């Protein structure tokens, strides 16, 4: 079945690193995604990782993938107040037209 789990809430001080964790179930996924949703806004594609990679770095963002444990994480270095948002990990489900199954979202609050 399809199930994506995330922790609900993360509070971090400005300048520190944030780590958001996610577990997924479909081991055949080619990609795994991170989306960001700011208050009252839509879903912004933040980054993604190919399933044959262990790590991807994109400026302040680092994605780590542990396929054995089906665990995905997103690290935000030097977290800024503008990073306060809800972060969703998402897994495409190939058997259903690549529809995305989302985790419940992790609300990140950055304190000055």
Binding site for another protein (CB under 8 A): 30-31, 33, 35, 41-45, 48, 88, 92, 94, 96-102, 104-105
User: Which C-beta is closer to another protein: that of 9 or that of 111?
Assistant: 9
Question: For another protein, which is the closer residue by CB, 17 or 30?
Answer: 30
**CA distances (Å), 92 to each of 6, 31, 54, 81, 112, in order?**
16, 7, 18, 30, 36
The smaller minimum CB distance to another protein, of residues 42 and 82, is found at: 42
CB of 100 to another protein, least distance (A): 6
As measured in angstroms, the least distance from the Cβ of 7 to another protein is 14
Token pair, residue 74, equals 């997103």
């Amino acid at each position: 079945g399809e199930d994506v789990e995330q922790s609900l809430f993360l509070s971090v001080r400005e300048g520190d690193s944030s780590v958001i964790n996610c577990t997924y179930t479909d081991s055949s996924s080619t990609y795994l995604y991170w989306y960001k949703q700011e208050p009252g806004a839509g879903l912004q594609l933040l980054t993604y990782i190919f399933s044959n990679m262990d790590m991807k770095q994109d400026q302040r963002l680092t994605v780590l993938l542990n396929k054995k444990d089906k665990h995905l994480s997103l690290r935000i270095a030097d977290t800024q107040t503008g990073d306060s948002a809800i972060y969703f990990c998402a897994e495409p489900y190939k058997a259903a037209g690549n529809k995305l199954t989302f985790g419940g979202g992790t609300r990140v609050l950055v304190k000055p």
